[in-house]
Structure 1
Amino acid sequence: MNASINSLPTSLRIASLGFTLIELMVTIAVLAIIVSIAAPNISTQLANQRVKSTAATLTNALKEAKAESIIRRQDIELSIDNSNHALTIEIENLDEDELASYSYSAQNTIETDEEIDAVMFKPDKRADAVTYTICDSKNASSSMQVIVTAIASISVVTGGTC
């Protein structure tokens, strides 16, 4: 016996429209489960993006320091200032005139394996060899390394320990 909805009285037709409370609660529970699965992946992606952004900023600063050294025909120093949460990368000549300044995310750290706190670029296309490791405050994110060789070659690789 198939009864069409048109043969029902008006009061029953109105009562059958819409969603029940149980249907809405089940839908909300399913959405909550999906969000709880996706949330950690999103936060890890954001942390990885911050690391990539800081690595790009450091690479650009190193390349600018190298170019300025060649153009000005003088030694140029790049230093990283972590004092007082300044979080800046500064490019200076030997007279300590600031040529450029870059800032990076407060949630990132830039560390070196060596005891070098600044890298010096020379006009004959040489530099102090140093490896910078960039990490995020979130441990699940990947780290990156910016490597400066003695012949002033600058490269970025994924890896390193924080």
Structure 2
Amino acid sequence: MNASINSSSRQRPMSSAGFTLIELMVTIAVLAIIVSIAAPNISTQLANQRVKSTTATLVNALKEAKVESVIRRQSLEFSFDDGSHSMVIISKNANSDEVASYSYNAKNIIKADKASITFHPSKRTDTVVFNICDSKNSSATMQVVVTAAANISTAAGGTC
């Protein structure tokens, strides 16, 4: 009886657990190829998202300045500083009170004809075109246009 148990255990083939070095190298090479193809698309998408976020912040700040000037019945000045990456709405009264402040991503650049724009309670202002782009990626650019009637619109395109 002992002999039959020993002979059956010897007949079982030895199984190998794990992967060979060649299989691991092929898998890593395939993953490296996939990552190298996907990486530029991901960085472009991130740049586009940053530009869209800054554009939305700019539009919201401009709309708030427009509405607040009508509500307060006084002129408000909207200004931005690309160095500190901030936007500020200031009342044009004697105290120059700060109404609101915003900040935007440091990787974005805002270019405009003027650094500040004044909204009047009569819903009038100067015509200004803002161009928003990513400092690292030139493919992502948005444009915000403020007309003399204080209409605010966005469009893809523009140059920084």
Shorter-chain TM-score above 0.5: yes
What is the match of residue 104 of structure 2? 104
User: Secondary structure at 1:138's aligned position in 2?
Assistant: coil
Alignment of 1:107-146 (within 5 A): 107-112=107-112, 114=113, 116-146=114-144
Letter in 2 for 1:50: R
Q: In the TM superposition, what is the alpha-carbon distance from 1:28 to its structure 2 partner?
A: 0.8
Unaligned 5+ runs, structure 1:
1-5
Letter in 1 for 2:62: L
What is the match of residue 14 of structure 2? 13
Q: In the TM superposition, what is the alpha-carbon distance from 1:18 to its structure 2 partner?
A: 2.9
Unaligned 5+ runs, structure 2:
1-7
User: Secondary structure at 1:38's aligned position in 2?
Assistant: helix
CA contact (8 A) 2:133 2:141 kept: yes
2:89 to 88, 91, 98: 91
CA contact (8 A) 2:75 2:121 kept: yes
Q: How large is the RMSD of aligned CA atoms in angstroms?
A: 1.7
Structure of larger gyration radius: 2
TM-score (norm 2): 0.88
CA 147–13 in structure 1, closer or farther in 2 if over 3 Å, else same? same
Q: In the TM superposition, what is the alpha-carbon distance from 1:7 to its structure 2 partner?
A: 10
Q: Distance in 2 between matches of 1:69 and 1:62?
A: 11
Q: How many pairs does the alignment contain?
A: 151
CA contact (8 A) 2:47 2:137 kept: no
Output one character per residue of 1:29-50: Cα deviation in whole Å (capped at 9) or x when no partner: 0011000100010011000000
What is the match of residue 30 of structure 2? 30
Q: In the TM superposition, what is the alpha-carbon distance from 1:138 to its structure 2 partner?
A: 1.8
> What is the percent sequence identity of the aligned residues?
62
What is the match of residue 3 of structure 1? none
Q: In the TM superposition, what is the alpha-carbon distance from 1:141 to its structure 2 partner?
A: 3.0
User: Secondary structure at 2:137's aligned position in 1?
Assistant: coil
Output one character per residue of 1:6-35: Cα deviation in whole Å (capped at 9) or x when no partner: 99944x4323x4321101110110011000
Following superposition, which runs of at least 4 residues in structure 1 exceed 4 angstroms of deviation? none
What is the match of residue 73 of structure 1? 73
Letter in 1 for 2:118: M
